Structure 1
Amino acid sequence: MQSAQSLESQITTAITPQALVQQWVVSPAEAKELIGQGATLLDARIPRLQQRGMLQGSIAVSWRQFSQTGRSEQGMLLRDQVQLAQALQDLGVSQDKPVVVVADPNQGWGEDGRIVWMLRTLGHSQAAVVDGGYEALVAVGMPTERSVRHRATEPGDFVASRTANWEITQSELQQDLGKAETVIIDVREAREFKGATPYGEPRSGHIPGAVHFYYRDLLDENGRILPRQAILAKLQAQGISPNAEIVVYCTAGVRAGWFTTVLTNAGLRAKNYAGSMLEWASSPAETAPLVTGDR
């Protein structure tokens, strides 16, 4: 009997770049087709995994190269749009060419989703996560190579045009605290939500009123993203309406960026608070309160 993965590799799709405007997650078969049509392929896995092998033609990328360097600002994108655009052009990102991003759903923080969230926020309308990541593309027959490339042979022509559709600032979130129509989701581990600080935040706890929902709970046992109805059911089990305005945060906006990407793909309204706990916990308690415990 053929495995599901081998069967998937034989499935032909009809994905188009235009479909990606609404579709933030693509199947491995769809990604393979897009790559065959000339899409830019970015690998957002951690370096030690990249060094074991890369998908042929892919470019290594890290969310950190687009982020500010100050400790409390590490989750926030660089302020200079020209600098951001240049860094993306160096990766081969172009204005009208699809971008597909892989990571490892079992080893990492959802870096692929963070990169896709960033691209969408900067105005790229055809960026998508590959469901199942690197290994899923290998399973559908994508060739690999040992060399790790950090720049494209030919630069792209991407020009950043930032939108506020999928991000929220600290000051905006402060104004939204306590509003009935806004649901704040903390996607960190339960221990972090309750008050542990494994990543060195200056203060502990979670934003008042936040609902805890570990980001990996949107993955199945094989590292695949749950179907839309299963996602909605899990959210509703936590009292989260599909009509809510959702704000997502974590430590540095990486896990939250992935979660925002997945929710947006499912048709929900979600924004990533990229500053997340590194910024919030570095701010005065009077204006950026935190609470500990289960609620």
Structure 2
Amino acid sequence: MKKFLFLLTIVGLTACQVKPTKVIVEEPLMGENVTAERLMTQNPVILDARSAFEFNLAHVPGSVNVRWEDFSQQNPRARGLLQPDLFALARRLSLVGVDPETPIVVLGKGAQGTGEEGRIAWTLKVLGVKNVYTLLHTSYREMNTNPNREVPAVKNKPYWKPEVAEGLTVDLKTFKFDISQDLKPVVVLDVRSSQEFALRNLSMEKSVKAPVINIEWREFFGAKGLPEKKIERLLYEKNIAKDSRILVLSNHGVRSGAVVYALNYLGYKKATNYAGGYEQWK
């Protein structure tokens, strides 16, 4: 199965809507000692976050093409918000072999893209999927030194209940309250480009009392597309500690989602994505 089956009509289960379990992330999402090469030996499900055009030109055998928009609302004023029915998202994932225990590699374009694979990884973590890695599409192909390696067919998984990692996302009301308070250590991390930041940022708002810092999202990922540990020094220089409450935003929650994924990977336990972004703010 090479196509993501989001368009299938899912019958049943819709009548029994129980609130998803909510959990708080208290540990780094992944151990830094686990490499992508090691993960490949675990027969992960491979999700490719590139465009359908690029995927159809060339892709890893057995991978499934996904888009971050497939998980998000259609509201043009807040495209970054996840669809409210998280059970529906979990059911869709089960159709391509994903459950909370499934090892996942999300492939993308790294610095040449706009954080799509990181946004998909963040979404999976919000839904409670435990082992998720981002990686460059080209890096994964280079790592596969065995061209005859068999790729297992994607098999459906039973429907599962998402255990929502609530700490990974923040709504507009809470975001507005937090940035209007003189609370420490709370910081707004704007991960757009320096040009975007110079044109408009929250430090220009009179109601915002929290410090606003600009570090472009690309700085958080290394050459292979994995979170970059070297960013810890820059964060330290900006007075951002691992126990700081870090409110991350971009235009519509894609680049900020990628950064929250990377920060949690590196052990910043209170990093959260304002997924509505400037698109919802304005």
Q: TM-score, normalised by structure 2?
A: 0.77
- 1:1-295 aligned at under 5 Å gives the runs 22-23=30-31, 27-35=35-43, 39-130=44-135, 133-141=136-144, 153-157=154-158, 158-177=160-179, 178=181, 179-195=183-199, 204-206=200-202, 208=208, 209-220=211-222, 222-225=223-226, 227-228=228-229, 230-268=230-268, 269-281=270-282
In structure 1, runs of 5+ residues without a counterpart are: 1-18, 145-151, 196-203, 282-295
Query: For each residue in 1:127-164, what CA deviation from the matched residue of structure 2 results, as whole angstroms up to 9, or x when unmatched?
Result: 2223xx111111112689xxxxxxx8532234323231
SS in 1 for 2:167: coil
Contact 1:55 1:142 in 2 (8 A): no
Query: For each residue in 1:84-122, what CA deviation from the matched residue of structure 2 results, as whole angstroms up to 9, or x when unmatched?
Result: 122212222123222221111132112111111111111
Query: For each residue in 1:180-210, what CA deviation from the matched residue of structure 2 results, as whole angstroms up to 9, or x when unmatched?
Result: 2211100001121122xxxxxxxx5435432
Distance 1:143 1:280, change over 3 A: farther
Question: In 1, distance between residues paired with 2:105 and 2:86?
Answer: 21
Contact 2:39 2:103 in 1 (8 A): no
Give how far 1:223 is off: 5.0
Contact 1:56 1:142 in 2 (8 A): no
Contact 2:45 2:154 in 1 (8 A): no
Give how far 1:27 is off: 3.4
Q: Which amino acid aligns with 2:214?
A: H
SS in 2 for 1:165: helix
Give how far 1:124 is off: 1.6
Distance 1:279 1:23, change over 3 A: farther
SS in 1 for 2:177: helix
Question: In 1, distance between residues paired with 2:226 and 2:97?
Answer: 27
Question: In 2, distance between residues paired with 1:68 and 1:105?
Answer: 24
Question: In 2, distance between residues paired with 1:24 and 1:73?
Answer: 33
Distance 1:245 1:187, change over 3 A: same
SS in 2 for 1:113: helix
Distance 1:140 1:109, change over 3 A: same
Give how far 1:225 is off: 4.4
Q: CA RMSD in A?
A: 2.5
SS in 2 for 1:184: strand
Q: TM-score, normalised by structure 1?
A: 0.74
Distance 1:227 1:161, change over 3 A: closer
Contact 1:32 1:142 in 2 (8 A): no
In structure 2, runs of 5+ residues without a counterpart are: 1-26, 148-152
Give the percent of matched residue pairs that are identical in Structure 1 and Structure 2: 25
Alignment: residue pair count: 241
Question: In 1, distance between residues paired with 2:176 and 2:145?
Answer: 46
